[in-house]
Chain A
Amino acid sequence: MESNLTNEGAAAHIQAQFGAAVVSVDMPYDMLTMEIAAERMHDVIEWIRSDAELQIGFLTLLGGVHYPNDKGREFAMVYHLHSWTKNFRIRLKAFLPAENPSIATLTDLYDGANWMEREAYDFFGIQFNGHPNLVRILNEDSMDYFPMRKEYHLEDETREDKDDRYFGR
């Protein structure tokens, strides 16, 4: 399938619609990556689905990333979307502060977002406003921390027989 949509064209098209909500545009490894203000993320995803020029209507993946040293932007929510009619992929990011990592849910647009958002909550503690059932999914319910956050090391920190400088991060 030939795509007549270019990264630059799509970026300009989205920027023309949302203006300042588009914080930055990048194209690592030829994939359009845009940072969107968190409060507009839902609107952008809704709009790119219905816009005739983009028709980006398949939610491929969503998930969190933790950047503990980035003050005020400790959590990132990364959305991968795909237009099957134009064969065009896009990656949208929103950064959230550690005090209140919350973003609007996509469950009203994509039913498939339900479990992926529960997973992001389970791993990182990101709150999805409007999610119908935001509870843990893979870990047990009584767990009292969010294990994918960087402060939780994979191995027991009191171990002395392994030196982290030689074995992983």
Chain B
Amino acid sequence: MSTFKEDSAYDMPHVGLSNETIDGDIATLNLGPTHPATHGIFQNILQVDGEKILSSEQTVGYIHRAFEKLAERRPYNQITPITDRLNYCSSPINNIGWHMTVEKLIGAEIPKRVDYMRVIVMELARIADHLICNSVIGVDTGALTGFTYLFQEREKIYELYEEICGARLTTNVGRIGGFERDFSPEFHRKLEDFFRTFPKVFNEFDSLLSRNRIFMDRTRGAGPISVERALNYGFVGPNLRAAGLDYDVRVMNPYSSYEDFDFSIPVGVAGDTYDRFMVRQEEIRQSLKIIEQAWKNLPEGSYKADIPEFYLPPKEEVYNNMEALIYHFKIVMGETPIPAGEVYHSVEGGNGELGYYLISDGGRSPYRLQFRRPCFIYYQAYPEMIIGQTISDAVLTLSSMNVIAGELDA
């Protein structure tokens, strides 16, 4: 259990709560596990003195689904749907991260077009992820309007997913080696449409909140963390960048041809809710910039790698071609030989470094698969961030950290 911090480093001067309890009357409050303000199933047992939080004890694991155990019994291509259910706000990044991990293990050569297509899909997912987080910060401060605006645009991203893979939330997008089909003309039309409408709506949302006096007073100083503490807690992604460190896997260890694109990494200074909000706002703009570059320069070529042992053949060929039938059977039954070895691959997920540590013993399913789930690691810091703050700030801090129960509990 985290204890009440005596120093006032984390106090908010503008609220001006005293560090001393007034009448010694301390109450215990359950924040969660099921409450609309927690945006997921998390329990926090708070000790409060009036509005002020003195200590917090967390319980997690309410939706633990034993993904790492499940993965030890599934062939490699059947693990993709598990990854959907980690951070379900940006499933395509999880899916593609997993595909790339397996490709690294088997040493597959991936065409440039696939890289660019993946970048487009992953950046769309990042936008969708950040849209949810930021519009929910708005909701938690009492501004529902922006949320409704942005969810119309998020719907368009989901339609784009549908156009690529037929699914919306748990996308299971692509395959080991690329995509199941090329982007359709309808996809290009819808993406064009998205580019026409989204920036306008997004800018309107931005103008509603970013320089809004009430919003700024409400979010500045709420749930801050210093960059040293954030590093020690294993923070990554927008939450770390809001504290002032520009670590981004896309730049540090480029994957899927991210080195080809020109974009910048926004950083904050205070590590509070306002900075987390602003970092995500800017990341959405940068993601748009990346999509535009990838889309304009989409290379010619195949939408899949030439790895017939791992990539399902087209259905017509399975019926008419002996070789295709054999490959189809081997892939579906998980009979493809896989090299033994161990790889760690990471991608920049919606919440930062999403890693896959895969140990293969040459069997049909992984010997061990461990996910580095950024939420799980940085959610530990939550008590430290809210102690000395008010209950309403605790709610804001939780939503601005973008803790996703699926990723937290695996």
Contacts and interface: CB of A to CB of B under 8 A. Distances in A.
Contacts of A65: 359, 367-368
Nearest to A136: B61
Interface in A122-142: 123, 137-140
B357 A63 contact: yes
Interface string B223-261: 000000101111000000000000100011100000000
Interface string B88-132: 000000000000000011000000000000000000000000000
B370 interface: yes
B68 A169 contact: no
B364 A169 contact: yes
Given A111-B233, A111-B381, A168 B342 contact: no
B66 A168 contact: no
B365 A61 contact: no
Contact of B370 (A61, A89, A138, A154): A61
Contacts of B333: 166
Interface residues of B, number: 48
Interface string A93-110: 000000000000000001
Contacts of B409: 138
Nearest to A113: B234
B231 A138 contact: no
Nearest to B232: A111
Contacts of A147: 66, 69
Nearest to B234: A112
A116 interface: yes
A139 B73 contact: no
Given A80-B344, A138-B60, A112 B364 contact: no
Interface in A61-118: 61, 63, 65-66, 78, 80, 84, 87, 89, 91, 110-112, 114-116
Nearest to A123: B68
B26 interface: no
A103 to B, nearest CB: 17
Contact of A148 (B69, B75, B372, B380): B69
Interface in B45-81: 60-61, 64, 66, 68-70, 72-75
B353 interface: yes
Interface string B362-385: 011101101010001111110000
Given A84-B252, A112-B380, A139-B61, A154 B234 contact: no
B341 interface: yes
B68 A148 contact: yes
B343 interface: yes
Given A60-B355, A137-B60, A139-B64, A115 B73 contact: no
Interface in A1-42: 1, 28-29, 31, 33
**Number of chain A interface residues as a range:** 35 or more
A145 interface: no
Contact of A154 (B72, B341, B346): B72
A154 B70 contact: yes
Contact of B233 (A60, A91, A112, A140): A112
A65 B73 CA distance: 15
Nearest to A65: B368
Contact of A61 (B61, B105, B357): B357
B410 interface: yes
B68 A110 contact: no
Nearest to B371: A61
A28 B232 contact: no
A168 B364 contact: yes
Given A63-B357, A138-B64, A168-B365, A57 B231 contact: yes
A107 to B, nearest CB: 10
B64 A112 contact: no
Contact of A84 (B70, B247, B380, B410): B247
Contacts of B64: 138-139
Nearest to B410: A138
A169 B365 CA distance: 7
A4 B232 CA distance: 25
Contact of B377 (A1, A89, A116): A116
A167 B335 CA distance: 10
Given A58-B231, A169-B72, A169-B73, A28 B61 contact: no
Given A1-B252, A28-B341, A57-B231, 11 more contacts: A1-B251, A31-B344, A78-B370, A80-B344, A80-B355, A111-B381, A112-B232, A112-B234, A119-B376, A147-B66, A168-B74
Interface of A: 1, 28-29, 31, 33, 57-61, 63, 65-66, 78, 80, 84, 87, 89, 91, 110-112, 114-116, 119, 123, 137-140, 147-148, 154-155, 166-169
7 contacts: A29-B105, A29-B343, A63-B370, A115-B377, A137-B61, A154-B72, A168-B73
